[in-house]
Amino acid sequence: MFAVTYAIPDVLVFVVAALCILGGALGVIAMKNPVHSALSLILCLLGVAVAFLEQNADFLAAVEVIVYAGAIVVLFLFVIMFLGVDASKHPHVEPLVGQRWLAGLGVVITVAGVITLMVNSDWVSGVMSTSTGGTGLATGSGNVTQLGDSVFTTYLLAFEATAGLLIIAVVGAVLLARRERPADPDVEVIDVEKVALGVAEEDEGEWWIIKQGSSEEVES
Amino acid sequence: MTIPASWFLVLAAVLFGVGAFGVLTRRSALIMFMCIELMLNAVNLTFVTFARTMSDIGGQTTVFFIMVVAAAEVTVGLGIVVAVFRRRESTSVDELSELQG
């Protein structure tokens, strides 16, 4: 299989993309600072986008850059900086003895098994699909039209369910990240009627009085 | 001649392995989320490769849906991380042990 010579530009693009992917992935798991990890993740995702482009998945490459590298990683960075997560808060102690070695061993065995399976099977040897559901993939820019047709006809129900999923995710995120209203006795609500009647003393027109020890309420 | 599918599949397998190793060894919930993204991208790469090999657009459609679900997952997951951090002042998963038996 490797005796065939390939076009030099294709191989070059693949090698660069592979280096970006693997370097970025190793950076994600090796960097101590979470911000550096997120930036490595961007490198890895750009490499994946190049790999998509090389396989005629133009639309997915664009979505990969826009949604993943553009939105998701920025969300990661926003949360990292919002929380102020510091590298020093995670000392590299291992509660489980030998966890790192065991994890490495398991991962190596699994990946080696998958690769051995690929080598010994017909999946990747160029044998065409036996499925009859394939519509035939156009090369070049015809791909986007095919993908759109597929999403809006065959997978229309799944696409609509996706809309519901996104709505649920947005509502869930808002509910999770919302700061709960403090029901502590430090905050005392003024009775508006009494203020209007002059029964209670007015405090510069504010609706509630902050007593001592509740400065957190002011920040929010 | 274009790049054979096996190169991309091996690359995706290694990328998945790196992501799995990160999930298994890192302590910070944020880093673990990033490693889950790595694994999802490895699977996406495999789907696109097979879509090309088998000349079937279904693989690319699946990747499209995976991306949408991943975006929703990250949104909710980071919301959970923020909520936990507010209560615990930490994102280390080792300190979240209240549910152990």
pLDDT in tens, A37-86: 999 999 999 999 999 998 888 899 999 999 988 899 999 999 999 888 66
The CATH number assigned to the domain holding B39 equals 1.10.287.3510
- Looking at mean pLDDT, say which of A57-71, A181-195, A206-220 comes out highest: A57-71
Amino acid, res. A31? M
Packing angle of the helix pair A8-30, A34-54 (nearest 10 deg): 160
**Residue A127 located in a structural domain:** no
pTM, 2 dp? 0.80
Domain ranges, residue A209: 184-220
Let me know if residue B99 belongs to a domain.
no
* Domain tally, chain B: 1
> Is A68 among the domain residues?
yes
Contact B3 A14 (CB under 8 A): yes
CATH code for the domain in which residue A32 is found: 1.20.120.1200
- Give residues with Cβ within 8 angstroms of A147, minimum separation 6: A59, A60, B57, B60, B61, B64
User: What is the chain B residue with the closest CA to A11?
Assistant: B3
In a domain, A195, yes or no: yes
Backbone angles phi, psi at A210, to 5 degrees: -100, 120
pLDDT interval class at A138 (50, 70, 90): low
Q: Which of A56, A87, A118 is the last residue of a domain?
A: A87
Does any domain span residue A121?
Answer: no
In a domain, A190, yes or no: yes
The answer for B 68-87 residues in CB contact with A (under 8 A) is 68-76, 78-83, 85-86
Q: Is A208 helix (H, G, I), strand (E, B) or coil?
A: strand
A158 Cβ partners below 8 Å, 6+ apart? B65
Chain-chain contact of A90 with B11 (C-beta, under 8 angstroms): no
- A133 domain residue, yes or no: no
pLDDT average, residue stretch A114-131: 67
A26-36 core/surface letters (b: 16 or more CB in 10 A; e: else) = ebbbebeebee
How confident is the model at residue A176, as a pLDDT?
Answer: 85
pLDDT for A143 equals 81
pLDDT band at A220 (very low <50, low <70, confident <90, very high): very low
Q: Which long-range contacts (CB under 8 A, 24 or more apart) does A160-163 make?
A: A162/B65, A162/B68, A162/B69
Q: Is residue B94 in a domain?
A: no
CB pair distance less than 8 Å for A60 and B48 = yes
> At which of A87, A116, A140 does a domain end?
A87
> In the predicted model, what is the mean pLDDT of residues B72-98?
85
Q: Give dist(CA B33, CA B41) in Å, integer.
A: 12
Within-domain flag for B39: yes
Residues B51 and A131: their CA atoms lie apart, in Å, by 12
The SS3 call for residue A209 is strand
Q: Is residue A136 in a domain?
A: no
Tell me: the pLDDT tens digits for B16-69?
999 999 999 888 889 999 999 999 999 999 999 988 888 888 889 999 999 999
The number of residues making up chain B comes to: 101
Using an 8 Å CB-CB cutoff, list chain A residues near B16: 111
Partners of A60 on chain B (C-beta within 8 Å) are 44, 48, 60, 63-64, 67
Tell me whether residue B51 is in a domain: yes
Q: Is B95 part of a structural domain of the chain?
A: no
**Residue ending a domain, choose from A35, A61, A87:** A87
Any B CB within 8 A of A213 CB = no
Q: Give the Cα-Cα-Cα angle B84, B42, B72 (nearest 5 degrees).
A: 40
Read off the pLDDT band of A100 (50, 70, 90).
Answer: confident
Q: How many domains does chain A have?
A: 2
Chain A contact for B96, CB < 8 A? no
Parent domain of B70: 5-89
Any domain includes A72: yes
A105: contact with B, CB 8 A cutoff? no
Side chain identity at A30, as an amino acid letter?
A
